[in-house]
Chain A
Amino acid sequence: MTSLTENAGYPLAPSKSYQVCTRCIMDTVADQSISFDDDGLCRHCLRYDKLVSARHLRGDLGRDALQALVECIKAAGQGREYDCIIGVSGGVDSTYVAWLVKQHGLRPLAVHFDNGWNSELATKNIERVLCNIKIDLHTHVVDWDEFRDLQLAFLKASTPDGEIPTDHAIGALLWKEATSRGIKYIISGMNFATESISVPEWSYGHSDWRYIKDIHRRFGSVKLKTYPHFSLAYLCYANVVRGVRMVSILNYVDYNKERAKEILCNSLGWKDYGGKHHESIYTRFYQGYVLPRKFGIDKRYGHLSDLINASQISRSQALAEMKRPPYPEDLQQQDLAYVSKKLRLSPQQFEDIMRAPIKSFRSYRNLYEPVQLLRNTVNGLRKYHFYPR
């Protein structure tokens, strides 16, 4: 397996001299475009310090703002069966959101995107939690033949965005359920405290249907008839004309992952599956096998650095964690066999995919500039409190 790693661009001897941040664990290996200030603080930590006060409200400030927001959501949902939509995956963040909105007396509809890779634990968690706190569920099951074709197309495209087909569809599903049911608020589990670090080279395309379509046009073969997708125009329509808002509720509370897990385990019968986003077998495999081995990307650098900035773990804990494999080696091999089989790839075909030269979204048609413009606009509006956090 080492040969794979060497071939595929783990820069064993980094071209520029090695440097690691003095606060988090981001370094010149994890992020090749990283920069540092004179004190040795990396650009991610600097960005965190700059934005944290605007994006994450703590303590009383957060409580008051959340209370005001809850009142808005309730008022907008009056006379309707549901006043907000939450996405559920069975993982910590989304489950904690479910618990939190119920605590605040909201009436959520849970929406789940089933892409054919659910683990048993994920489905069990969804079942247990929603039964225990009495939240109705709507599931969208993607057509497996279509979705398999799209996931395979992304593998063949050789960009590190293999999780985009899922992320994009979840977004599409949430916006569409909200607009079609007349629900004004989507409550998301995104949070600044534990997922602020993003390296552009790690992943791109959540909102870029043009990019997804182009990859599918080149490498796919099954027509996408039912795959949920959205254009930027639709996103503007949902936001501006229909007035649907996406709120990251965890930015209003002191969100601590370990404490959240405790609450979920003790009061909702939720079970920990270990590892971020490991509720999906494909995500686990993509992030723990394909990304590190083929692209030299290990997202744990980002997750753990976030937790350091949020004071939820120490730097030495994070470094110790990075010494371990992304997930247990025997499970990686099991997943490799299962994923190949499910995608109908022979071991050789999978190996060829792992060895294919790496590309980026820039090799394909995309809407990078408009997407960035839209993102910056929303962030700008957030700053002046014209858009919820």
Chain B
Amino acid sequence: MVHARVIPCLLMRNGGLVKTVKYKNARYVGDPINAVRIFNEKEVDELVFLDIGNPGVPAIPNFELLAEIASEAFMPFAYGGNIKSIEHVKRLYSLGVEKIVLNTAAADQPDLVSAAAALAGSSGVIVSIDVRRNWMGKYSVHVAGGTRDLKRDPVEYARAVEQLGAGEILLNAIDRDGTMEGYDLELIGRVCKAVSIPVVAAGGAAHLPDLRNAAGAGASGLAAGSMFVFHGKHRAVLITYPEYEELERLFK
């Protein structure tokens, strides 16, 4: 890989793909299997699937669907959502999921991060850190789809999960999610300086220069949702991904 990783981050609910704005107003964008097929042909580096579930409804990972995705995807992919036990983790790895993404579980049962890392190595474990700014402009880590405030500083939290054995951080700026206003570069800069593991930035990307800016702020992976599923001013659903040459030029 010559350039920073550019990763479509796809949200799932009830087996369909959706896209949110600021973690709300999930809009249906299609069937995950066909999306994977299209991304295959676009030679995407890797994919992230996050099952955002239905608020308040307890659930487990949709193993059947993930097995289908695994059988269709040419590229490595990460999965997060409803992972609650080491049994879940084991089953996901055995299905062919390359990396698991822990969010709520990482906060509620930190041992699970260590246990998963012991199982598959740190490189197989991503901790997703969802960050919201409060009215005073102060960053705070949230879990449970942005509904529970941990009241912890993202820098301190990032160091903690690195200690636990996370091999990668998926850093989401909740306030930028789906807005296509550009990444939160300040947040990315702070967290990247604090840890030595790779940080994948997410939330706000709209155009290619946004990706470059986030890489400039220290992110080693650039995740985006809206940018790769919406097209134009009507936010028409259309799967796109930059050509290899475009990315090479961008990061030169």
Contacts and interface: CB of A to CB of B under 8 A. Distances in A.
Interface in A117-153: 117-121, 123-124, 126-127, 130, 136-139, 141, 143-145
Contacts of A138: 234, 236
Interface string B11-39: 00001100000000000111101100110
Interface stretch (B47-55, B81-89, B237-245): B237-245
Give the size range of A's interface with the partner: 20 to 34
A144 B31 contact: yes
A83 to B, nearest CB: 16
Contacts of A214: none
Contacts of A338: 37
Given A123-B239, A127-B240, A143-B16, A136 B234 contact: yes
A112 B16 contact: no
B30 A114 contact: yes
B42 interface: yes
B231 interface: yes
Given A130-B232, A136-B234, A141 B30 contact: yes
B34 A118 contact: yes
Interface string A151-186: 000000000000000000000000000000000000
A119 B232 CA distance: 20
B233 interface: yes
Given A123-B238, A123-B239, A118 B38 contact: yes
Give 10 nearest A-B pairs by CB, closest first: A120-B41, A144-B31, A139-B236, A137-B236, A139-B237, A116-B31, A120-B38, A141-B30, A141-B237, A138-B234
Interface of A: 112, 114, 116-121, 123-124, 126-127, 130, 136-139, 141, 143-145, 338, 341-342
Given A130-B231, A144-B30, A341-B68, 7 more contacts: A119-B38, A120-B38, A124-B42, A136-B236, A137-B238, A141-B30, A145-B16
28 contacts: A112-B238, A114-B30, A114-B237, A116-B34, A117-B34, A118-B38, A118-B239, A120-B37, A121-B41, A123-B240, A124-B42, A136-B233, A136-B234, A136-B236, A137-B231, A137-B236, A138-B234, A138-B236, A139-B236, A139-B237, A139-B238, A141-B28, A141-B237, A144-B16, A145-B15, A145-B16, A338-B37, A342-B34
